Amino acid sequence: MSATPDRQHRMTPSDILARKGQAPIACLTAYTTPMARLVDAHCDLVLVGDSLGMVLHGLPSTVGVTMEMMILHGKAVARGIERACLVVDMPFGSYEESPQQAMHNAARLMSETGCQAVKLEGGLHMAETVAFLVARGIPVMGHVGLTPQAVNTLGGYKVQGRGEDGARIEAEAAALAEAGAFAVVLEKLPQSLGARITGAIPVPTIGIGAGPECDGQVLVVDDMLGLFGDFRPKFVRRYAELGDSASDAIAAYAEDVRARRFPGPEHVFADQVARK
């Protein structure tokens, strides 16, 4: 299978599922229409992650993200998507109480944003909810390993699945696949564990700090573009340093304003249009 995106076909969750063991799945987050257009041109899957709480809103974690925030940014991203499969995160507190609560909020996300699937965090304890949603027409992407919404119980953003704990995460990923998830995000796991899970479950794994053997990879777009300050997780490769470039540009603008070099003659309007 060619790794070049087919611009004539809108990717669906079923297409992502069919990529298991095929060409690796390229995925990035997006939170705005302009960024969505850039990502859509090259990626197979665009994720409106609840990481927007930290990246765009300055929150200390994803726990404070609301349904309204996810819907607002989901709508914005949907306006910029033509080809990629669009997935929106379900925020903390919107699905954990019961399958019925999850159904209500997942249906709201899909109907109000136009996304094709939702993502939720958790393994064995969420399998029933995943099965409930899938049976009712809601495609679901799972997420195991480091689950940021559970950071307070995990004790921080540390690597998961080392030692005997690896068997638990393998079982969680398997349970999500069996429940009907079309893909499972593996976050911050030892490479060997990411490879084992990828080989063991019949749906694609999307790695973020889980090794190159995963069926696909996802990063927060602001991280890989160097837009999110000095935050440099080990699993992120920075493909640009746009934050530095933006800082230099803003400094140059402020200097030009103070020196009255901007606006220049080419940026102002004359009193009258010159006659020919």
Domains of the chain: residue spans and CATH: 13-241 (3.20.20.60)
| Three-state SS letters, 228-247 | CCCCCCCCCCCCCCHHHHHH
What is residue 239's predicted lDDT score, i.e. its pLDDT? 96
What is the C-alpha to C-alpha distance for residues 240 and 110, in angstroms, rounded to an integer? 33
Residue type, 73: H
pLDDT of 27-46, one tens digit each? 999 999 999 999 999 999 99
**Is residue 109 a contact partner of residue 88, using CB atoms and an 8 Å limit?**
yes
Q: Which residues are annotated as a binding site for Mg(2+)?
A: 50, 89, 121
- Going from the C-alpha of 234 to that of each of 7, 34, 237, the distances in angstroms are 33, 27, 8
Q: Between vectors from CA 76 to CA 181 and to CA 126, what angle results, nearest 5°?
A: 20
By the 8 A CB rule, do 44 and 19 touch? yes
pLDDT of residue 6: 55
In whole angstroms, what is the distance from residue 185 CA to residue 45 CA? Answer: 12
pLDDT in tens, the chain (276 residues): 445 555 568 999 999 999 999 999 999 999 999 999 999 999 999 999 999 999 999 999 999 999 999 999 999 999 999 999 999 999 999 999 999 999 999 999 999 999 999 999 999 999 999 999 999 999 999 999 999 999 888 777 889 999 999 999 999 999 999 999 999 999 999 999 999 999 999 999 999 999 999 999 999 999 999 998 777 889 999 999 999 999 999 999 999 999 999 999 999 999 887 666
Residue 187 annotated among the catalytic residues of the structure: yes
Alpha carbons 141 and 155: distance in angstroms, whole number: 24
Q: Residue 53: helix, strand or coil by DSSP?
A: helix
Specify the pLDDT at position 154. Answer: 79
Binding-site annotation: residue ranges for 3-methyl-2-oxobutanoate: 50-51, 89, 119
Binding residues: 50-51, 89, 119, 121
Residue 42: how many other CB atoms lie within 10 Å: 12
Of these residues, 187, 213, 241, 255, which one is catalytic? Answer: 187
